[in-house]
Structure 1
Amino acid sequence: MQTEPTQTSCTAFVGRQLIAKGTLQHVVAIVKDTLEDREIAQLLIFDDFTGKPIDIDFRGKTAEVLQRLSNQAGHTPDEKESEQPTRRVGRPKLGVVSGEVTLLPRHWDWLKSQPGGASVTLRKLVDEARRSGKNESKVRTAQEASYHFMTAMAGDFPQHEEALRALYAGNQDRFYQLIDDWAPDIRDHIKTLAENAFIEEET
């Protein structure tokens, strides 16, 4: 289930200073109620999951800005898709969907010899692959979020490129060392985004 845009976790910065953190609706309300127009002009709001900036139309009063956000949330691209009836093939009670799998004869022979037969064995293999790839997916997501935020907010900081190399190499100590002298709010947010980038693979 997708998070609604207004409930997206995000962080707002003016220059190098963290201004607000929380849901998009919460952050937008704080920004409108506390910042002057000239400060809002320098504002950047980042999605905490992707590390990418979020564009907000701040024209008008706080209620008007929040209303526009609510309207956008009520007309997401996935809305039409969710209205379409789901077509199921196979055994509805189990949620099984049929599909074509092309294997060599020796593969079929091995699958058929396993307890439960080919279908059960294939499902087990897929579930095992999904579990083993979970950490890899977390690492990749954290790396990309950190990269996007670092590029936008720390692109001109010293040793920026070296820090990125350490990030993608999984060298946590080197990464933290390189960003240690950066602006505190930016550095700390990078550490939060990169938290899962250094997960060790399960053995």
Structure 2
Amino acid sequence: MSTSLSTTCTAFRDGTRLATGTRAELVRKLRADPTGVVVFEDASGRVVDLDWRDTAPPAPQEPEPPRRRGRPRLGVTAREVTLLPRHWDWLARQPGGASQALRRLVDEARRADGGRTALRTAQERCYRAMAALAGDYPGFEDAARQLFAGDMAAFGEAVAGWPVDVRTYLVALAQVREDDLA
């Protein structure tokens, strides 16, 4: 999940949604009175800190460097993978090499997942924000149980007495999004 400055965030104060936008937009909108403001990154449900001093517009991006010869970048990220020797031996025998075999295995696992990982991502995102916004609200524990049970109707009932802005935000965070499936 990205933590870039362009990520959409939502600001609350005392159970009331104040604004939604990028971090820079929220700073501009709420800078006059940031007291008691809690800001959530919408993609993760995490509380984020804003630099209330930052009012300058973002710096212009530098132009892309000219294209080089050779294979184009396909968005591939090189990282370290630790495997046993027998795993490396098996990967070496696969058509297309180790990287292609690993990509194939990951894609197969994602298809077989059936959306379980995306659902868990949405539940965790919602729970993070719920714990920060409503941890002391009546029925919090019941709402958490219903959220992780996947019973959205019962979750809605459990949060029905909470402020409408909190309730609406949490229900939205609990929904599986397109980027959860990626």
The two structures have a TM-score, normalised by structure 2, of: 0.70
Q: Which has the larger radius of gyration?
A: 1
**Residue in structure 2 matched with residue 164 of structure 1 by the alignment:** 144
Q: Distance in 1 between matches of 2:174 and 2:123?
A: 6
Note the C-alpha offset of 1:179: 0.7
Structure 2: gaps (5+ residues) = 62-69, 178-182
**Residue in structure 1 matched with residue 162 of structure 2 by the alignment:** 182
Q: Distance in 1 between matches of 2:27 and 2:145?
A: 34
- Kindly indicate whether the alpha-carbon contact (under 8 Å) linking 2:24 and 2:54 is maintained by their aligned counterparts in 1: no
Note the C-alpha offset of 1:121: 6.8
Equivalence map 1:28-39=2 (5 Å): 28-32=27-31, 35=32, 37=33
Q: Which of 159, 176, 179 in structure 2 is aligned with 1:196? A: 176
- Identity %, equivalent residues: 34
Note the C-alpha offset of 1:9: 0.7
Q: Distance in 2 between matches of 1:50 and 1:2?
A: 9
SS at match of 1:46: strand
SS at match of 1:195: coil
Q: Distance in 1 between matches of 2:4 and 2:139?
A: 36
Q: 1:107-126 CA distances to partner (integer Å, 9 max, x unpaired)?
A: x7xxx8x9x69977765443
Q: Do structure 1's residue 4 and structure 2's residue 4 form an aligned pair?
A: yes
Letter in 1 for 2:175: E
Note the C-alpha offset of 1:103: 4.8
Equivalence map 1:39-188=2 (5 Å): 40-58=34-52, 64-67=53-56, 70=58, 102-103=85-86, 124-133=104-113, 135-188=115-168
Q: Distance in 2 between matches of 1:143 and 1:189?
A: 13
Q: Distance in 2 between matches of 1:160 and 1:152?
A: 11
Q: Which one has a larger percent helix, Structure 1 or Structure 2?
A: 1
CA RMSD of aligned residues (A): 3.6
SS at match of 1:180: coil
Note the C-alpha offset of 1:157: 1.1
Alignment CA distance shift 1:70-1:133 (3 Å)? farther
Note the C-alpha offset of 1:23: 1.4
Letter in 2 for 1:66: T
Q: Distance in 2 between matches of 1:3 and 1:137?
A: 20
Note the C-alpha offset of 1:137: 2.4
> How many residue pairs were aligned?
160
Note the C-alpha offset of 1:149: 0.8
